[in-house]
Structure 1
């Protein structure tokens, strides 16, 4: 039993190292690359008192949209418990206050997790893109890229800074989230069919 336990522990450690390596190597900053659409993934909005994680994502979005004047942002995130508005609507308000025109902002207000952020955001588009830009916290980008790959879309990335106070818990939580996404967050044949039909 002792040997079995040590073997299982070794496999788990190897898996953690592999996941952290994938997360680290997915943090490429492609701020200079223009894409028509940028997905901005949601985080805690706290009834308008935005979390530092979300503010960092939005400030990075402001930088990208100011650099690429023709790009539009799809703001992702549904309504949290006891919140008046969805994450996406609070994100929109913040960006408008920062000088971004409302016409450049598309809100996706129905999602409850990262997979739904991406799935529902893609449904907002008239045409399936071959590439799309993703802005989120640095630790979050590998999972977003994996999900988009499963939809047949290449993800470009711009990492937003992760607050120091959230660094360790975020990376620990993300390790488990990557495993969950690998096992379960897969588009159905119907999802893929509907997405590809937009190109016809």
Structure 2
């Protein structure tokens, strides 16, 4: 069994490496990492079984192993509690700093729903229910588990797409996505994106910055123009900046920017806020634009809320497959009860 476990671990490592090298802009990057971790756990189990007698003869190593297992179990059990409390506290911070708007309630709402699902919902399973009630309970339980698993894989895949060994990519174009301006002034969030783009330009001197963003309500000029002005104030030469000023969404940012690229098969870097990178990369992949994404930092409490919003955006982008998943779960619930 140890040989089989080692073989499966080797295969999982190869699959994960191939996805990350070929194109990590997919949920399969997160799934393959989880598969690799699972195979590692199985491998460790059989390895410990193989050397159980040796461990029994070495009390020090046995005590260390037991302590590690207890620590791991404690972290697994405490993780949901820590997650719920963290989300709730950070949700309060979002409301305090950003105002009481529906879009700013996502973190707190998610923490409440997660608490209800993990702490209250299991108790409802013990109540008397009719045949329809049992089917409904099973459907909600399975669908909630599906959505939570999907969200975990999405967040893991998003994190993997933020990892880069180097900034020097031999890039031809660095596309900085807009995010709104106040009058003619860029916001702190947009300024962070531009400065990240300038940082990458220094590492890729042969590249050109494409400042992408149209003019929205309450904006005196197009975002692309305001971004270009900001970059020039930071010392970027005008010859190093291309302005894209028609886009009104992330899809259009990428589409209109790609039309301004004169080189064949260009090497492209997309820059946006870290929580937005993965969804931007998925949209670019849909358009056939090969690129990598770099993220600009923002405040932690805002990042958590925005990640939930980004996941909702991903669901809208891929709603058909989730309708199919819901249908499969309905069939399972009907058959099981």
The TM-score bracket by the shorter chain reads 0.7 to 0.9
2:176 pairs with 1:40:
yes
TM-score, normalised with respect to structure 1:
0.84
- Aligned partners of 1:122 and 1:128 also within 8 Å: no
Select 1:17's aligned residue among 137, 152, 162. 152
Please list, as runs of the form range in 1=range in 2, the aligned pairs for 1:1-200 lying within 5 A after superposition: 1-29=136-164, 30-183=166-319
Larger radius of gyration: 2
- CA deviation map 1:29-88 (0-9, x unaligned): 342212011111111212233222211111111212223322101111111202110111
Q: Contact 1:130/1:152 (CA < 8 Å) preserved in 2?
A: no
Q: Distance in 2 between matches of 1:36 and 1:88?
A: 19
Report the 3-state secondary structure (helix = DSSP H, G, I; strand = E; otherwise coil) of the residue aligned with 1:27.
coil
- The residue number in structure 2 matching 1:196 is none
Q: Which runs of 5+ in 1 are unaligned?
A: 185-200
Query: Structure 2: how far apart are the matches of 1:183 and 1:39?
Result: 27
The two structures, once aligned, show a CA RMSD in angstroms of 1.8
Q: Deviations over 1:167-187 (max 9, x none)?
A: 122111111112223359xxx
8 Å Cα contact 1:136/1:158 also seen in 2:
yes
Distance 1:45 1:68 in 2: 27
SS in 2 for 1:157: strand
Gaps of 5+ in 2: 1-135, 321-337
Deviates more, 1:74-83 or 1:129-138: 129-138
TM-score, structure 2 length as denominator?
Answer: 0.51
Q: Is the 8 A contact 2:173 2:266 kept in 1?
A: no
Runs (4 or more) in structure 1 with deviation over 4 Å come to: none
Q: How many residues align?
A: 184
1:56 match: secondary structure: helix
Whole-Å Cα distance in 2 between the matches of residues 16 and 113 of structure 1? 23
What CA distance in whole angstroms lies between the structure 1 residues aligned with 2:317 and 2:210? Answer: 21
The structure carrying a bigger strand percent of its residues is 1
Which protein, 1 or 2, shows the higher relative CO under an 8 Å CA cutoff with sep ≥ 6?
1
- After superposition, give the CA deviation of every residue in 1:106-165 in whole Å (9 maximum; x if it has no partner): 111111111110001011122443531111111222122222223333212322112234
- Distance in 1, matches of 2:267 and 2:168, equals 15
Structure 1 or 2: larger helix share?
2
CA distance in 2, matches of 1:153, 1:120: 11
Q: 1:11 to 1:24 in 2, by over 3 A?
A: same
Do the aligned residues in 2 keep the contact of 1:42 with 1:87 (CA within 8 Å)?
yes
